[in-house]
């Protein structure tokens, strides 16, 4: 009941509007019986409802309101005719919209390609294709011939060519028929030739299908060639045998040639001509001579070219005869006669050329050519070996120039200097390079002498065996030593990199005094002070830095004696071992850098509350600056994207609104 | 919403003009009620209905679910009415009231005028609900659908609207009693 009372307004209005359920209505009425206040409200609400109904009924639209709306609508949106409506409807279909977007994207891609020139290639390809198209029909049989002939010519150009060559005077239709027959027979013949392992030759009666006329195949001009590569024991022996085989097969040896290699082996080529029908037999025999490395067997069909030339030759003969007749009968101007004379000369030249060609082909067809390459076994075995020795020697010496001159003075007939160079740069650094060629028997002695001139930092020898006249190994070939090439590099000792670098600190109370003591100690052990500094900082700490170089052999003695100076700290040793180099380790330089220091005042003026505060402030300020910078970077990174997105959204909204209106 | 109604909305969305004109017949009074509720001016409300119908026809393809077509139509009308209201606020308001008071006899219109001003004082959603109810005698369910309200909310709105008007019109009502 409490709910009804609290929401009495809602309940009363809903009741007046007839929107209460039966239960709700009974609940409301029960409450109204009990509650006088709500009864009063009920009366007032009823009155209000009545007033509203009456007043607003006046404002109701008139009965023809719908008609008016409809008329106005029709007026403002005229009925569209078929196509425009269809178009408009289409525009609103999701599929069409997607298709349109895809089309736009595709167009953009194409435009991009055009701008970047990517499709220039495609265009060129197309052009080429277009150019190729008109060329194709030209190679076909003339269009005046029946279609049958056209298709045949396409399938077998050879047949068409032959047909033309053979019967230029036959009418087109019969020609086509003939061409068809020939095509079939040739196709058959070609198959047997290509697939058969035992290749039938032109002269041999090859197995023919029943409908194939025999003379057709006999007229074919086939040039057969074979190449054989053999490895044999003895060249001369092989040539003799080949000659014998050739005679057996009614052939002859056309040419032979041979070359003698440095290792005494022979290599050569024999060209044999045999009758085509005997070719296979001959090849079988030749194969027995040695190890077969390679063999090729080829057949070239020159029928078309042959008969083309033949036909042209006939035409040329006719032409020649006509020109001769012209000369005999005509009595024209001298210039005309000369013209005819010149033409006759040209025709005769052509005739000779063509006759020569035909003769050449005839000879080629008559005999098969076999090219036999012969090589004796172990062709690649080297004749001799040469030992090439190359040495690199790096020397360190106190006086570079003196050593340089010493090396130069070694020159003799057996020691030749090929290159000598002495370099001195602005800072006074000096180095020298000498290249020497030494006769093999002297080499060891000379190298030992050069090594004695200074401290050897590096010595490398490289020996290479070069095979002569072949590759690989040989049991019989002799080995000879070649001249030794020696490259010497001379540098000053100072420039040498230390073998071992040591750094350490010594803490002491009297820096100056101990530094002097250290100096004395070092000099006693053969060390050389290269560099020394002394400094005192504001806190009263003193530092003396000394760097010295000494031979490795005295290193450990010095290190032990250092303990007497003060507390040795922070010792670090770095050693550079040079592998593969022959070095004199005892005399190799070792660098030691020593810092002698005192502790100074205990309290630094840079400590205490104020200093700490100052440092903290400075650090926090720099941290803030750093974060500011990072924010700037982030903004610079994001801003363009944000702007771009906002612009796109704005444009899209505008577009949608424009479309809506 | 029954199937035939739904089919009608679907056809209208797909550009069936006859279906759309049928919708104009059945829904234009509702739209008028909404427009009048906001503007309280018949001519303007009629214009609003016109504009809303034209706009609805032009942009009908935006509605993906036919069930929501009536609510969408009502929303267009409401937006349109708001546009008109915004534009009107820049123009002096007095003209209208003067006209009304000039036209009607003073006696009977005392309550009328008070009623209108009480209506004007209501929130616009309340006015729309009232007009839908009193013009078209629409049942609560239809009003809920049109204005996108729940049953409880609509009851509350109507109850509060009537109560507040009752309070404003109390002197007049007392005199009438």
Lowest mean pLDDT among A165-174, A300-309, A391-400, A511-520: A165-174
**């289409």: which residue's tokens?**
A90
Q: Which residues of B touch A56 (CB under 8 A)?
A: 130-131, 134-135
SS3 A380: coil
pLDDT digits (tens, 9 = 90+) for A478-504: 788 888 888 988 888 776 777 788 888
Residues in chain B closer than 8 A to A20 (CB atoms): none
- Work out the pLDDT band at A171, boundaries 50, 70, 90: very low
What is the model's pLDDT at position A606? 64
Confidence band for A633, pLDDT divided at 50, 70 and 90: very high
CB A219 within 8 A of CB A301: no
Q: Nearest-CA residue of chain B relative to A10?
A: B159
- pLDDT surpasses 80 at A476: no
- pLDDT of residue A304 exceeding 80: yes
Residues A470 and A269: their CA atoms lie apart, in Å, by 20
A159 vs A345, which has greater pLDDT? A345
Nearest to A70 among B24, B135, B162 (CB): B24
* Element holding A431 (H helix, E strand): strand A430-438
Judged by a CB distance cut-off of 8 A, whether residue A38 touches chain B is no
CA distance A298 to B142: 97
What is the residue whose two structure tokens read 């005309």? A336
**pLDDT single digits (tens) B87-143:** 877 654 444 444 444 344 444 566 777 777 888 788 888 888 888 888 777 888 888
Q: A77 and chain B: CB distance < 8 Å anywhere?
A: yes
Q: Which residue of chain A comes nearest to B48, CA vs CA?
A: A69
Confidence of residue A535 (pLDDT cuts 50, 70, 90): confident
Average pLDDT, rounded, for chain A? 78
- Could you give the CA distance from residue B34 to residue A572 in angstroms, rounded to a whole number? 94
pLDDT tens track for A17-27: 888 888 888 88
B20 with B14: CB under 8 angstroms? no
| pLDDT of the residue at A207 | 40
pLDDT, one tens digit per residue, over A122-134 is 445 545 554 545 4
What mean pLDDT is predicted for residues A208-229?
65
Q: How confident is the model at residue A136 (pLDDT cuts 50, 70, 90)?
A: very low
| Contact status of A647 with chain B (Cβ, < 8 Å) | no
Q: Which residues of A touch B53 (CB under 8 A)?
A: 69, 73
* Nearest residue of chain A to residue B52 (CA atoms): A73
Alpha carbons A384 and A468: distance in angstroms, whole number: 5
How many angstroms separate the Cα of A231 from the Cα of each of A257, A374, A379?
16, 6, 9
Chain B: residues touching A (Cβ < 8 Å): 14-15, 17, 21, 24-25, 28-29, 32, 36, 42, 46, 49-50, 53-55, 57-59, 61, 111-112, 115, 130-131, 133-135, 139-140, 155-156, 158-160, 162-163, 165-166, 169-170, 173, 176-177
Question: Tokens 């004379």 sit at which residue?
Answer: A341
Chain A hits for B105, Cβ within 8 Å? none
Q: What is the pLDDT of residue A634?
A: 95
User: For the segment A311-366, what is each residue's pLDDT rounded down to a tens digit?
Assistant: 999 999 998 888 888 888 767 778 888 888 888 899 999 999 999 998 988 888 88
Mutate to test the interface with A, among B48, B155, B169, B175 (most CBs of A within 10 A): B155
CA–CA separation, B46 and B24 (whole Å):
13
Cβ-based contacts of A55 with chain B (< 8 Å) = 111-112, 115
Q: Any idea which of A143-152, A371-380, A631-640 has the lowest mean pLDDT? A: A143-152
Question: Phi and psi of A68, rounded to 5°?
Answer: -65, -45
* pLDDT at site B9: 86
Tokens linked to A15:
């009741």
Residue of B nearest to A657 (CA): B59
What is the Cα–Cα distance from B168 to A631, expressed in whole angstroms? 59
Neighbours of A199 (CB within 10 A): 18
pLDDT tens for each residue of A370-419: 999 988 887 777 777 888 888 888 888 878 888 888 888 888 888 888 88
Of A13, A57, A69, the CB nearest to B158: A13
The residue of A49, A60, A87 whose CB has the most chain B CBs within 10 angstroms, and thus the best one to mutate to test that interface, is A60
The C-alpha R_g of chain B, in whole angstroms, comes to: 18
User: Which tokens belong to A216?
Assistant: 């057709």
> Hey, is the C-beta of A49 within 8 angstroms of any chain B C-beta?
yes
Report the gap between the CA of B89 and the closest CA in chain A (Å): 22
Q: At what angle do helices A36-59 and B106-121 cross, to 10 degrees?
A: 110
> What is the distance between the alpha carbons of residues A421 and A617, in angstroms, rounded to a whole number?
63
Q: Where are the beta strands (DSSP E) in A284-410?
A: 291-301, 368-376, 384-397
Give how far the C-alpha of residue A584 lies from the chain's centroid of Cα atoms, to the nearest Å: 49
Least confident of A55-69, A119-133, A586-600, B20-34: A119-133
Cα A128 to Cα B52: distance, rounded to the nearest angstrom? 62
**B15 to A52: CB separation less than 8 angstroms, yes or no:** no
Q: Is A637 an 8 Å CB contact of chain B?
A: no
- Return contacts of A235-244, CB within 8 angstroms, 24+ apart: A235/A266, A235/A267, A235/A268, A235/A374, A235/A376, A236/A266, A238/A289, A238/A290, A238/A374, A239/A268, A239/A270, A239/A374, A241/A289, A242/A270, A242/A272, A242/A286, A242/A289, A242/A372
Q: What local confidence, expressed as pLDDT, does residue A356 receive?
A: 93
Q: How far is A637 from chain B (nearest CA, A)?
A: 37
What whole-number percentage of chain A has pLDDT above 70?
79
Residue A380 or residue A228, greater confidence: A228
Q: A303, exposed or middle or buried, with CB in 10 Å at 0-12, 13-18, 19+? A: buried
Task: Return the higher-pLDDT residue of A372 and A164.
Answer: A372
Quote the crossing angle between the two packed helices B124-136 and B140-147, to the nearest 10°: 140
In 3D, which of A599, A538, A528, A610 has the Cα closest to residue A569? A599
pLDDT tens by residue, A558-600: 888 888 877 888 888 888 776 655 566 777 788 888 888 887 6
Asked if A12 and B159 come within 8 Å (Cβ–Cβ), the reply is yes
By C-alpha distance, the chain A residue nearest B177 is A47
pLDDT number for residue A302:
85
Q: State the Rg of chain A over Cα.
A: 56
In this complex, do B163 and A9 lie within 8 Å of one another by their Cβ atoms? yes
Q: pLDDT: is B63 or A206 the higher one?
A: B63
Architecture per CATH, A497-597? 2-Layer Sandwich (3.30)
What distance in Å separates the CA atoms of residue A400 and residue A388, rounded to the nearest whole number? 29
- What pLDDT, on the 0 to 100 scale, is given for residue A651? 95
Region A114-125: mean pLDDT is 58
Query: Which of B45, B79, B133 would you mutate first to test chain A, the one with the most A CBs within 10 A?
Result: B133
Q: How far apart are CA B151 and CA A507, in angstroms?
A: 94
**pLDDT band per the 50, 70, 90 thresholds, residue A646:** very high
- pLDDT, greater one: A296 or A146: A296
Lowest mean pLDDT among A449-453, A465-469, A511-515: A465-469
Q: What are the C-alpha distances in Å from A1 to residues A256, A540, B156? A: 133, 96, 17
Q: Which of the pair, A121 or B4, is modelled with greater confidence? A: B4
CATH of region A384-494: 3.30.70
Distance linking the first and last C-alpha atoms of chain A: 53
Write down the pLDDT at residue A630: 95
CB pairs under 8 A between A and B: 114
Write down the pTM of the prediction. 0.34
Q: Which of residues 350-409 of A touch B (CB under 8 A)?
A: none
Residue among B29, B140, B166 minimizing CB distance to A48: B166
Average pLDDT over every residue of B5-30 = 85
Instruction: List domains and CATH numbers for chain B.
Output: 1-90 (1.10.1740.10), 97-177 (1.10.10.10)
């Amino acid at each position: 009941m409490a709910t009804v009372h609290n929401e009495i307004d809602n309940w009363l209005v809903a009741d007046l509007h007839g929107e209460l359920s039966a239960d709700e209505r009974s609940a409301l009425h029960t409450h109204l019986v009990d509650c006088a206040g709500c009864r009063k409200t009920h009366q007032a609400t009823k009155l209000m409802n009545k007033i509203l109904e009456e007043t607003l009924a006046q404002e109701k639209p008139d009965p023809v309101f719908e008609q008016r709306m409809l008329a106005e609508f029709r007026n403002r949106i005229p009925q569209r005719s078929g196509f425009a409506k269809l178009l408009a409807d289409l525009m609103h279909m999701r599929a069409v919209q997607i298709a349109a977007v895809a089309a736009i994207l595709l167009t953009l891609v194409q435009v991009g390609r055009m701008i970047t020139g990517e499709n220039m290639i495609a265009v060129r390809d197309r052009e080429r294709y277009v150019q190729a198209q008109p060329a194709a029909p030209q190679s076909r049989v003339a269009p005046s011939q029946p279609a049958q002939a056209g298709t045949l010519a396409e399938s077998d150009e050879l047949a068409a060519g032959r047909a033309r060559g053979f019967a230029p005077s036959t009418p087109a239709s019969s020609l086509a028929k003939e061409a068809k027959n020939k095509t079939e027979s040739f196709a058959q013949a070609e198959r047997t030739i290509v697939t058969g392992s035992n290749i039938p030759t032109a002269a041999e009666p090859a197995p023919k299908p029943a409908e194939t006329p025999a003379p057709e195949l006999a007229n074919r001009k086939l040039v057969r060639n074979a190449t054989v590569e053999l490895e044999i024991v003895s060249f001369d022996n092989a040539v003799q045998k080949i000659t014998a085989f050739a005679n057996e097969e009614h052939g002859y040896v056309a040419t032979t040639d041979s070359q003698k290699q440095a290792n005494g082996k022979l290599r050569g080529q024999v060209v044999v001509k045999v009758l085509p029908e005997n070719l296979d037999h001959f090849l079988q025999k030749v194969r027995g001579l040695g190890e077969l490395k390679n063999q090729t067997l080829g057949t070239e069909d020159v029928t078309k070219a042959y008969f083309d030339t033949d036909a042209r030759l006939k035409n040329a003969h006719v032409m020649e005869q006509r020109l001769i007749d012209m000369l005999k009968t005509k009595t024209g101007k001298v210039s005309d006669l000369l013209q005819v004379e010149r033409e006759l000369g040209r025709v005769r030249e052509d005739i000779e050329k063509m006759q020569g060609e035909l003769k050449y082909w005839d000879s080629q067809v008559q005999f098969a050519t076999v090219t036999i390459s012969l090589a004796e076994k172990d062709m690649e075995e080297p004749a001799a070996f040469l030992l090439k020795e190359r040495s690199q020697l790096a020397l360190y010496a106190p006086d570079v120039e003196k050593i340089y001159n010493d090396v130069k003075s070694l020159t003799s007939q057996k020691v030749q200097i090929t290159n000598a160079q002495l370099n001195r740069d602005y800072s006074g650094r000096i180095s020298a390079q000498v290249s020497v060629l030494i006769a093999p028997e002297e080499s060891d002695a000379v190298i030992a002498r050069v090594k004695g001139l200074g401290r050897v930092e590096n010595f490398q020898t490289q020996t290479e065996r070069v095979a002569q006249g072949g590759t690989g190994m040989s049991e019989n070939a002799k080995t000879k030593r070649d001249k030794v090439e020696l490259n010497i590099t001379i540098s000053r000792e100072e420039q040498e990199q230390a073998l071992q670098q040591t750094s350490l600190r010594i803490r002491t109370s009297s820096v100056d005094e101990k530094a002097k003591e250290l100096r004395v100690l070092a000099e006693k052990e053969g060390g050389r002070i290269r560099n020394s500094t002394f400094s005192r900082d504001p806190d009263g700490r003193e530092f003396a830095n000394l760097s010295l170089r000494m031979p490795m052999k005295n290193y450990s003695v010095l290190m032990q004696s250092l303990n007497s100076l003060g507390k040795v700290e922070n010792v670090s040793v770095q050693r550079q071992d040079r592998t593969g180099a022959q070095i004199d380790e005892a005399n190799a330089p070792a660098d030691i850098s020593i810092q002698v220091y005192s502790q100074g005042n205990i309290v630094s003026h840079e400590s205490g509350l104020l200093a700490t505060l100052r440092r903290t402030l400075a650090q926090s300020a720099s941290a803030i600056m750093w974060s500011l910078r990072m924010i700037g970077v982030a903004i610079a990174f994001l801003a363009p994207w944000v702007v771009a997105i906002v612009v796109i959204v704005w444009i899209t909204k505008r577009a949608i609104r424009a479309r809506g209106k | 919403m029954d199937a035939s109604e739904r089919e009608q909305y679907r056809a209208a969305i797909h550009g069936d003009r006859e279906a759309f004109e049928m919708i104009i017949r059945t829904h234009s009074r509702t739209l008028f009620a909404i427009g009048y509720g906001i503007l309280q001016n018949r001519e303007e409300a009629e214009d609003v209905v016109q504009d809303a119908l034209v706009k609805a026809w032009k942009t009908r393809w935006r509605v993906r679910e036919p069930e929501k077509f009536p609510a969408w139509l009502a929303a267009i009308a409401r937006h349109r009415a708001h546009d008109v209201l915004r534009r009107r606020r820049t123009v002096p308001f007095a003209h209208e009231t003067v006209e009304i008071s000039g036209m009607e006899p003073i006696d009977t219109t005392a309550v009328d005028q008070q009623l209108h001003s009480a209506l004007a004082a209501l929130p616009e959603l309340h006015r729309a609900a009232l007009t839908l109810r009193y013009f078209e005698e629409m049942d609560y369910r239809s009003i809920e659908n049109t204005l996108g309200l729940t049953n409880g909310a609509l009851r509350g709105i109507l109850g509060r609207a009537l109560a507040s008007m009752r309070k404003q019109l109390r002197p007049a009502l007392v005199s009438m009693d």
